[in-house]
Structure 1
Amino acid sequence: MTTIFFMWGFLTCLNDILIPHLKAVFELNYFKAMLIQFTFFGAYFLMALPAGWLVAKLGYKKGIIAGLIVAGVGASIFWPAAGMRLYPFFLGALFVLATGITILQVAANPYVALLGPERTSSSRLTLAQALNSLGTTLAPLLGSVLILSKEVKSSADIAQLSAADQLAYRTQEASAVQGPYIGLAVVLVLLAVFVHLFNLPKLKETTAEADTGHHTLLDALKIPHVMFGVVAIFCYVGAEVSIGSFLVNYISLPDIGHMTEQQAAHYVSLYWGGAMVGRFLGSALLAMMSPRKLLAIFAVINMLLLAITMSTSGDVAMWSIVAIGLFNSIMFPTIFALGIEHLGPLTGKASSLLIMAIVGGALLPPLQGLFADHIGVQHAFFIPLICYAYILFYGARGSKIIVDKIPTAAATR
């Protein structure tokens, strides 16, 4: 299961390298470049319900296999997309890839949370997410070598080339993504075969048969800690993805890191590496202390770090934004585990809602891109600052369980 978490982390974070590459190749502004994240995370919103239905029908194991195969198909579409040199085709490939990852999220997150005692579900899910962060740590390093290693010419330099040379250059730049994504497609299909060969424990708690009360999504959304949790996931993923998406362009600015985009990509790896380290440490902390309290503390720290990066320059601004990754670490798994706590057969419905909320990663980066085009990248970080303020609320108050708001059939788990 941790291998599955690793793979979707790797695929998701590779977008942070794809953004500056396609931004330069297609000469996009920040808003248009962030359509990459809009398309990728928009799939979570559009496909979470179909994915939930699929997992309920197939079960966890077959659902995971289906997710891996769909993601493999999406990765393979990058080959013709690069050949045709069409930005919308790239976005289409990302949508299919993200659909596969959505199926994996719907199946794997609740599966890991339910594999053991409810008391330690946050700790268990955080440990699995640590391997997800290993994937997000390695993706920028590998992506910077395979995708960003060649210098992208300016518009003025390209204009001086002949029509034939311009076409050859565009083809070469676009094809830089073909090899890495075809390799990922092969790995995903092989992983699906390996999962098929493994004997995973069967859990029926979130299958269609387990929901004897025929509860709806609205029933789950009426439960306060689920409703607040959905907004918290929206805010967290939106903040995390917005920061990661802008890191390469932000750190390479003259008054921040003053370096090339390839060099800046290594700091993206540190950002996600901090999340990995934090998840290993957080898994131990969550086994000893209240997940709600730790979530609130980490939210406050990230708010302070964002305030620092927005008001300073140079190394201080650079390292304060990178350090946020460390304190992002426990947020997603903790919010997710708290959001499905004490729900019994309603767990599947709540899980689908929480996965749909990952659409925050689709909506907030373009919004931040819009502000970045007008007020600059640095000041646009006020968007994630607001998000962490809400997460503070969720940890302190919003995640508390109100028993009489939970349907009787779900409460008697």
Structure 2
Amino acid sequence: MPINPVDESSLRATKPRNYYLVPLIFITSLFFFWGLVHNIDPTLIAHLKKTFTLNNFESSLVDFSVFIAYFIMAIPAGLLMKKWGYKSGIVFGLLLFAVGAFLFIPAANTHQYFYFLAALFVVASGLAFLETAANPYVTVLGPPETSSFRLNLAQSFNGIAAAVAPIIGKYTILNNTHISTEEIGQMDTQAKAKFIQEASDSVKYPFMILGFIILVVAVLFIFLKLPEIGKDKTETRTRSFYEILRIKHTRWAIIAQFFYVGAQICFSSFFLVYAEKAAGLNHQVASNYLAVYGALFMIGRVVGTIFMKFIEAPKLLTIYSIVAIILTLVAIFGHNAYTIYCLLGIGFFISIMFPTIFALGVKNLGEDTKTASSLIVMSVVGGAIIPLALGYIADLTNNIQYGYSVPLICLLVVAFFGYRGHKPSLK
């Protein structure tokens, strides 16, 4: 597809503000779609664990497949956009997304867990392209001073997906919930094969429908006119990955994003375990609190977006980080049911961190935004690594609360980024 880069500053100067409205609406829709996939993962993990009688490590490979895809595909995504532009990255990401969704069909038909992981890896590879393109693109669709506001607004739709995905998963994927793991183990070969077939089909059809929807969205983007933000006329060349890493605020954004994503996965993935051990709640009751956690995360995105109209993004990020740190300390050393309310509060206050760190990390980079974006997206691999540390400490101390010292350290890194590490430097 033809790409006609234009000077970013001249584009903003000559085009009316509503020139960005339609592109912004379409780009924002992407945040909902990848949020849908990420937030249906917990349902998928529980379902596949039961279907294939997996242990905890084996079921955790679902999350690993997602985050390792981001790590592997982020740089290729950045290189593709550097050569062909944001629109190409978005369309290619959508096509990969759709292919991965359709791969759930043979995965279900073969009844092999590995094929489900492979399909999920392809889906996540598409998401890596989408996030590498959409996150920075939102920041340049308008005045630079409101880039964090726009990104938080778009990420609010990711929060909406966090509330919707569990409901979709409950009524489409989760079936045979009345059958226990023990009962599955006692089934004869024919009965177990029938159970696995039904359970696999319950995953196949939702992803097949999602694949068709994503294909339609890809076609719409092919014909949609998107302003391509190109090189500034004063620039002679773009920076290499190594040179991008030498830019202080971008380097700190990569570090902060690594630790933030790790902390977010810790809080959500271990929520039920924490609720049972620290607050004495059974899984049925704790699941209700987990739904509230997701809702507060969504509300936090919306409220944070509003606050950014009045408070500078770095200052708000610092304030939210400090409050989250205090709540985490109570969650570590507190007792009884009130500790669970601390986790709910944490969900609210960490909600703005990803988009804010991202927007501050690519600020003032011009054409180098694409390269920096891919590096920041790569840093989400923290979601695959840091939770392992929480689990290790929790097992070592036989106390899940002490394990939360890991996300506490992560939040300290984010607070530093908001206080000092974000300050722009192009040297």
Residues 215/356 of structure 1: CA separation in 2 closer, same or farther (3 Å cut): same
Q: CA offset at residue 387 of structure 1?
A: 0.9
TM-score, normalisation: structure 1: 0.89
In structure 2, C-alpha distance between the alignment counterparts of 1:254 and 1:331, rounded to whole Å: 26
Provide the rounded CA distance (Å) in 2 between the counterparts of 1:250 and 1:256: 9
Residues 192-271 of structure 1: pairs in structure 2 closer than 5 A: 192-205=218-231, 212-248=236-272, 250-251=274-275, 255-260=279-284, 264-271=286-293
Alignment of 1:5-404 (within 5 A): 5-151=31-177, 153-205=179-231, 212-248=236-272, 250-251=274-275, 255-260=279-284, 264-312=286-334, 315-371=337-393, 375=398, 377-402=400-425
What is the percent sequence identity of the aligned residues? 37
In the alignment, the residues of structure 1 paired with residue 248 and residue 321 of structure 2 have an alpha-carbon distance, to the nearest angstrom, of 20
Mark the runs of 5 or more structure 2 residues left unpaired by the alignment: 1-26
Instruction: Sort the Cα spacing of 1:68 and 1:398 in 2 relative to 1 into closer, same or farther, 3 A.
Output: same
CA 1:384–1:148 in 2, change beyond 3 Å: closer, same or farther? Answer: farther
Distance (Å, rounded) in 2 between the aligned partners of 1:193 and 1:325: 36
Instruction: Note the C-alpha offset of 1:212.
Output: 3.3
Q: Deviations over 1:360-403 (max 9, x none)?
A: 1222234434555563544433322221111111111211234x
Q: Structure 1 residues 339 and 326, CA, compared in 2 at 3 Å: closer, same or farther?
A: same
Residue 28 of structure 1 and its aligned partner are, at CA, apart by: 3.0
**Deviations along 1:270-317, whole A, 9 cap, x unmatched?**
323222222222122112222111111111222222233334455423
Shift of 1:130: 0.6
Kept in 2: contact 1:309–1:321 (CA 8 A): yes
Using the alignment, how far apart are the partners of 1:254 and 1:292 within structure 2? 33
Query: CA 1:147–1:252 in structure 2 vs 1: closer, same or farther (change >3 Å)?
Result: farther
Q: 1:175 to 1:313 in 2, by over 3 A?
A: farther
What is the rounded CA distance, in whole Å, between the counterparts of 2:279 and 2:228 in structure 1? 54
Amino acid corresponding to residue 132 of structure 1 in structure 2 = N
Once the 2 structures are TM-superposed, how far is the Cα of residue 174 of structure 1 from its aligned partner?
3.1
Q: Is the 8 A contact 1:76 1:182 kept in 2?
A: yes
C-alpha change, 1:146 and 1:267, in structure 2 (3 Å) is farther
**Shift in CA distance, 57/306, structure 1 to aligned 2, threshold 3 Å:** same
Q: SS in structure 1 opposite 2:268?
A: helix
- Amino acid of the structure 1 residue aligned with 2:154: A
Note the C-alpha offset of 1:26. 3.0
The answer on whether the counterparts of 1:38 and 1:366 sit within 8 Å (CA) in structure 2 is: no
**Would the aligned equivalents of 1:141 and 1:266 in 2 still touch at CA under 8 Å?**
no
Please give the root-mean-square deviation of Cα atoms over the aligned residues, in Å.
2.4
Q: Which moved more, 1:322-331 or 1:217-226?
A: 322-331
Distance 2:234 2:41 in 1: 37
Amino acid in the other structure paired with 2:380: I
Matched AA of 2:323 = I
Structure 1 spans left out of the alignment, 5+ residues: 408-413
Q: Which amino acid aligns with 1:309?
A: A
Q: Is the 8 A contact 2:331 2:339 kept in 1?
A: yes
TM-score, scaled relative to structure 2: 0.86
SS at match of 1:236: helix
Q: CA deviation at 1:265?
A: 4.6
For the 8 Å contact 2:321–2:349, the answer to whether it is kept is: yes
8 Å CA contact retained: 2:152, 2:304: yes
Between the aligned partners of 2:103 and 2:275, the Cα distance in structure 1 is: 31
* 1:18-58 alpha-carbon deviations (Å, 9 max, x no partner): 12222233333333322211110111111001111122233
